Amino acid sequence: MTSVQDTYNSRVAAGELKPDTAQIAALPQFERIRTELAAPAPRKKGLFRKAEAQRIKGLYLWGGVGRGKSMVMDLFVDSLTVPARRVHFHAFMQEIQSEIHRLRSQGIEDPIKPVAKSVSDAVRVLAFDEMQITDIADAMIVGRLFEHLFEAGCVVVTTSNRVPDDLYKDGLNRQLFLPFIALLKDQMSVYEMASDTDHRQDRLSGAQVFFTPADAVARQEIDRLWNELTHGTEEKMTLHVQGRDLVLPRFHNGVARCSFFDLCGAMLGPADYLAVAEAARVLVLEDIPRLSRQNFNEAKRFVTLIDALYEARVRLIASAAAQPEMLYVEGTGSFEFERTASRLREMQSADWART
């Protein structure tokens, strides 16, 4: 079996990664878990032998965006020989909520335990990307859910942009959530990946991020950036917003890719765009058309979307029919669009999202 450090070194030697001291310092945290998982189970007699053999402390890896947390976690998952699942935390909780709803519809009053059992029966390791709690429904069930997972011997590894004590910060009824934070700190080692380097931004630093016209050449360049940011891995991301499902068709490690029609052609509003800005640290938005009175509603949604991205400091990569100042030159709202054009121009600067 190859250690996480050896895998990292081989990626560096192949030119796929640049060595990073913060990433290298975090690797022993993963190697500890990999080694414990690979060790033979102790031969003990007694009723509780299985439970004792399965108790391995997980890892809560936190730090700023773009530091490479998800990448090193992926190296860890790839090194495992036990059943493991790597999933975005938001997507996992959506699955859990759906399964709880299904079981309740069948008359099961307390479905959390069987839901947790179905998860723990399938995997030995759960690797979550971007743990964050913003939904009250998630906040009310994660404590009992994770308690059952830990009792069943699941090893949980997660990345997050927040220290555990800041999860669900200022959330409704947060006092009911605090035992979950204590559980995480008890069952997982908390480690900060402290670095001043934002690798995601570095990949885009100096790169063209606004392409016009939105033609085959633009798509080719956006494909290249997308592959650099995602390493060719993607999935759908479904956001639950005020009882509705908002689908980001292509998503990986905080990078989302959508068309203008996906986000502005549908009847979406500020809450939807705030959810997008929260889920994605980089948004690739393709095929922005010229805007006018003929597509006034789409133009209004686009303005709202850009405002949400701007305020959340989300990096934008876009293809459009024209440069920002020429996208909306006539019709109701064209004057107000000047602010949006200015923001689009500002968001193209190499260090914009760092400010």
241 pLDDT exceeds 90?
A: no
d(CA 132, CA 142): 11
Q: What percent of the chain has pLDDT over 70?
A: 91
Strand partners, 247: 238
| 180-216 per-position pLDDT tens digit | 999 999 999 999 998 766 555 555 656 789 999 999 9
Run of H or E including 22: helix 21-38
189 and 58 in contact (C-beta within 8 Å)? yes
| Domain locations in the chain as residue ranges | 4-192, 199-354
Task: Return the exposure string of 77-87: e unless at least 16 CB atoms fall within 10 Å of the residue's CB, then b.
Answer: bebbeeebebe
Per-residue pLDDT band for 50 (boundaries 50, 70, 90) equals very low
Tokens 């509780």 belong to 48
Tokens linked to 153: 């011997």
Strand stretches in the chain, DSSP E: 58-62, 84-88, 125-129, 155-160, 188-192, 210-211, 235-241, 244-252, 255-259, 282-288, 315-320
Its pTM stands at 0.69
Tokens 């938001």 belong to 90
Domain 199-354 in the same topology as domain 4-192: yes
Query: By CB neighbour count within 10 A (0-12 exposed, 13-18 middle, 19+ buried), where does 90 fall?
Result: buried
- According to the CATH classification, is domain 4-192 in 3.40.225.10? no
Strand partners, 237: 248
284 and 255 in contact (C-beta within 8 Å)? yes
Residue length of the chain: 355
Domain at 199-354: CATH architecture = 3-Layer(aba) Sandwich (3.40)
Nearest to 298 by CA among 259, 264, 267: 264
Residue 45: its pLDDT value, please? Answer: 55
